[in-house]
Structure 1
């Protein structure tokens, strides 16, 4: 295939991706409008679409899966109650991230819980996984160590690190979600990464050496 054909194919794939994103966003806005009018099935579709995102962020914030599910319920209740306030010219996922972060922080402050899942829960090796048990163990150990170290971060450091490095959002998006300047986001991210490296080096030196 020629470079010209490669370029055309790449552009075509990019345009297709953009269209899919637009279509998805339009579906979300339509569901929001229906939910505002009292269509419960429309809101359930929103819950199904974003449940994994909400539970994932909540889990990384509060450190316990059952607690994360409780937080996610609070998030969707709050989302439903405030749906009329959502600006449909903005991204719904951004708004939902903000609600999730705030709900997680409120949960931690209220219950003062700072417990993370055990190493066994992080590994979660099934019989079907036995052949890859060593690799799963390594990944689970790294995940568990990071979760333990997250507790040493401040609320803002943790929020920034989770959204940027674990959720993969860009700096601009993180700034919008947390309502802070991009420069401030970068500063918190720098401090969070430095603190995590310090904690991992002190408590899990074998992992730091292994990752080089």
Structure 2
């Protein structure tokens, strides 16, 4: 589906068109799953996050005002949903007595480094969020969701220079957390 068609479906769905919402959800599901998988180390976790994101889109589409592109709005929901799924999984692991989140990885020779790096990054983002929450969203939107600075500025309602500054600060903090091993 072309971006223009997706934007039109989003506008109709935001206006209350249930048919447009169903078409939109079906169209974005594969992309949402791929993007959730960028955050989370296990495919099953990405699937769980994807379902949560689709539910959030369905519940909150009425709040989509069209100030930014639908894809930008969706990226924010994906980032927040994936990070929330990670927090939930981490909490469940702690409740079950694990010191760290267990990871089921198909091929440990190739995937474990990637999965471990993602978990380290998510932990660093969580730590950053507790100390400097305003730095997390710009970095996630730029480095993980791969939005351009202008899109991030429009979505967050802050100047582009502030976006760049916050991303720079966030990267420095995350780098420190990762190098220190948290």
Q: What is the TM-score when the length of structure 1 is the normalising length?
A: 0.59
8 Å CA contact 1:119, 1:140 repeated in 2: no
Corresponding position of 2:153? 175
Give CA deviations for 1:21-71 in whole Å, capped at 9, x if unaligned.
xx713322443465446342x2122113334665646x959xx76567435
1:161 paired residue number:
139
Q: How does 1:189-200 map to 2 (within 5 A)?
A: 189-200=167-178
Q: Is there any run of 5+ residues in structure 1 with no aligned partner, and where? A: 1-22, 205-212
Which of 47, 70, 73 does residue 55 from structure 2 map onto? 73
Equivalenced residues, count: 164
What TM-score do you get using the length of structure 2 for normalisation? 0.67
Structure of higher CA gyration radius? 1
Cα distance in 2, alignment partners of residues 99 and 125 from structure 1? 26
Which sections of structure 2, spanning at least 5 residues, go unmatched?
94-99
Change (3 A) 1:34 1:145: closer
> CA RMSD, aligned part only?
3.8
- Aligned counterparts of 2:141 and 2:110: Cα–Cα separation in 1: 26
Residues 151-192 of structure 1 deviation map (CA, whole Å, 9 limit, x = unaligned): 111332111111101111111111112111111111111111
* 3-state SS of 2:102 partner: helix
* Alignment-derived partner of residue 17 in structure 2: 38
